[in-house]
Amino acid sequence: MANSLNDKKKEIKKVNGYYVIILILSLIIMVVGISFAYFTAVSSQEKDKTRINTGTLIINFTDGIEINNPLLIPRNAPSSINDDEYLYTNTFSVESTGSLDQTIDVYLNVSVNEFSTGALRYKVFNSNGAQMREGTISSSGDMKILENTYLAAGQTSKFSLMIWLQETGSGQNQEQAKSLVGTMRAEATQVRK
């Protein structure tokens, strides 16, 4: 019986030895495989394939970002960028100095508008005199005055915002001494190619 017990112990040690050998071989194969995958990935990368491009904007509000109590006299909508009598004009340019094309949105944040609802109107023109957008100045809050305007990398675009008191054909004395106060801001979104 002692002999049979010793044989079982030898058999168990033999089986455990096989498991240890299989475990060590598995670890070696795993380390070799991970090393091979890592070095294959590193060697296949090209220098320019890991470059990150960014888009950068320079916004120049020539007439400032604030609109504060413009002097307005009732008139009809301006027909061109040169028709600037009795209205407020804010000229601004947006320059893309990065390496990516972008679309820009420009907002007018109205903090105070004491004029009657719908009394103030606006138009945005580009530097070529083409009308980009037209609308009514809101009573308060953010309003988008320019939307999804394409700007290529390295390009500068110039715009003019015109605000006027819309002529109604009847007395508008109630609009005298009223205030319009707001600020402008621009946002850009990269164009994916």
What residue has token string 């801001």?
185
Averaged pLDDT score across all residues of the chain:
83
Q: What are the DSSP calls for 153-189, one per residue?
A: TT-EEEEEEEEEEB--SS--GGGTT--EEEEEEEEEE
Are 105 and 94 in contact by the 8 Å Cβ rule? The answer is: no
**Greater model confidence, 172 or 191:** 172
pLDDT score recorded for residue 162: 93
What pTM value is reported for the model?
Answer: 0.68
Q: What is the pLDDT of residues 76-126, one digit of tens each?
A: 999 998 988 889 888 888 888 877 888 899 999 999 999 999 999 999 999
Coil/strand/helix, residue 24: helix
d(CA 104, CA 146): 8
Task: State what percent of residues in the chain have pLDDT above 70.
Answer: 83
The pLDDT value given to residue 55: 60
* DSSP string computed for 90-154: EEEEEEE-SSS-EEEEEEEEEEEE-SPTT-EEEEEEETTS-EEEEEE--SSEEEEEEEEEEE-TT
| H or E stretch at 36 | helix 2-44
Quick: pLDDT tens for 42-84.
666 555 555 555 566 777 777 777 777 678 889 999 999 898 8
pLDDT of 120 reads 95
Residue type, 88: Y
Is residue 42 a contact partner of residue 49, using CB atoms and an 8 Å limit? no
